[in-house]
A and B are shown apart, each in its own frame.
Chain A
Amino acid sequence: MGNKVITKDAEALIGVESAPIKTEIEKHDIQKFAQAIAWPNKPNPLYYDEEHGKKSKYGSIIAPPSFVTSMKWLGQTVERVNPTMGKYRVGMNGGNEYEMYKPIKPGDVLTARGKLSSLKESPRDDGGVMLILGFEGDFIDQKGEKVATARQTLLRIYGPDQVRKE
């Protein structure tokens, strides 16, 4: 059985990296994130209190573990993939995966490149299709060292009227 949603144009984008997306990490970005994830409790001082940060083994405050969720890396790639396949009924966040290799600190300049990493479709009982898109992005710091990898799964439901006929 052939694909009903995935196209050759879409498959050709697998592994193709986006243009670099540069973000300078400001102290206040980290502190605001720390405050939001702790609210209404006090933020964790390792992510918020500069004195505490200085005394820590990192020498400064660092970003909380899931800070990568605030980084932009995916949009450009999704926009490039979208026109290669037809309209869908509803989209969902299927899940995330993050790997953290070194701490993110105020003043770091991170460069991200996103790419489509996988495409899969499975038939649905109503004759439509569930499309599973995998994306991946690496974050590289100003020293050229890899800081984190993000992986994102997006799910898209195509109605029976939105898929190619056999």
Chain B
Amino acid sequence: MAKVYFEDVQVGQELPSYTIKAGYMELNRFAGANDELIPIHMDPDYAKNVAKLPDVIVMGNLKLAYMCNVLTNWGGDDLWVRKLEVSYRKMDVVNETLTAKAVVKAKRTEGHDHLVDLDLWVENGKGEKTAPGRAVVALPARV
């Protein structure tokens, strides 16, 4: 049995959000796993003194991964993320509390595929959308 079926999805529905404090551990683990070994994400000394930032900043790619967690935690193994689009509007400094959210914008059928269009984004602790995006996911249907 699938976790979520296409028929049960409602336009306007908000998915359960994903909140995380993105600390040094989260950034460094992701830097390694994503092969994104860039000083502004890893080296506080460099970030502060050379790049003149308050501290190291969260990778856009990590914010995108958190948005994907919203989709996959909701839809389970039978959800397929077909398309992702994201733009990086504002920096998030390490230790910021990030919340990834998604809301259903439309449902449609394309051939045999049952597709759901979503707006998704990451917001910072002040509720500002620092990385807005969109996704298309495929879900199983009951029929």
Contacts and interface: CB of A to CB of B under 8 A. Distances in A.
A69 B64 contact: yes
Contacts, number: 92
A35 B29 contact: yes
Contact of A65 (B26, B36, B72, B78): B72
A93 B87 CA distance: 8
Nearest to B87: A95
Interface residues of B, number: 31
A9 interface: no
Contact of A66 (B29, B61, B73): B61
Most central of A36, A57, A72, A96 by chain B CB within 10 Å? A36
Interface residues of A, number: 30
A65 B35 CA distance: 16
Contacts of A66: 61, 64-65, 68, 81, 84
A33 B64 contact: no
Given A70-B33, A70-B34, A99 B82 contact: yes
Interface in B1-58: 25-26, 29-30, 32-36
Contacts of B71: 65
Interface of B: 25-26, 29-30, 32-36, 60-62, 64-66, 68-69, 71-73, 77-78, 80-88
Interface of A: 29, 32-33, 35-40, 44, 46, 56-57, 64-66, 69-70, 72, 92-101, 153
17 contacts: A33-B33, A36-B29, A36-B32, A36-B65, A37-B33, A37-B62, A37-B69, A39-B25, A64-B65, A64-B68, A66-B84, A69-B36, A93-B60, A95-B86, A97-B84, A98-B85, A100-B84
